[in-house]
Amino acid sequence: MSSEHIKDAMRILLPSLVEGLDGDERNVLLTLARMLYTATTGRFTSKDQAAAWAKSLLSKADADLLSYARLAYWGEVLDDWTDRGSQAVYLTDELTRRLSALL
């Protein structure tokens, strides 16, 4: 599959992914990190590895939130976003902005 087809698919899926943030914060953030990784490197990787890679691009607060999503993915912390909703929206916006610039 060509990189243009992959970018087209990401461009099409991005709005619905972002719209699904509320109630699925962990998966949306990790998927955005994976999409950003693919758009940047042209390679595929797991959500977990993409999140680890993306942390170095982010502020400390955003990197910490992405780390929380990784830990929740592994089942190491309670997947509770009740007090993290506004942070998740901010990080979603940041990842979406970076991704959109590459698409």
Q: How far apart are the C-alpha atoms of 32 and 59, rounded to whole Å?
A: 16
Q: Which two tokens stand for residue 73?
A: 């993915």
Q: Is 3's pLDDT higher than 90?
A: no
For residues 54-70, average pLDDT: 96
**93 pLDDT more than 90:** yes
Running DSSP on this structure, what letter comes out for residue 77? S
The total number of residues shown for the chain amounts to 103
Residue 2 has pLDDT above 90, yes or no: no
Q: Residue 78 pLDDT more than 90?
A: yes
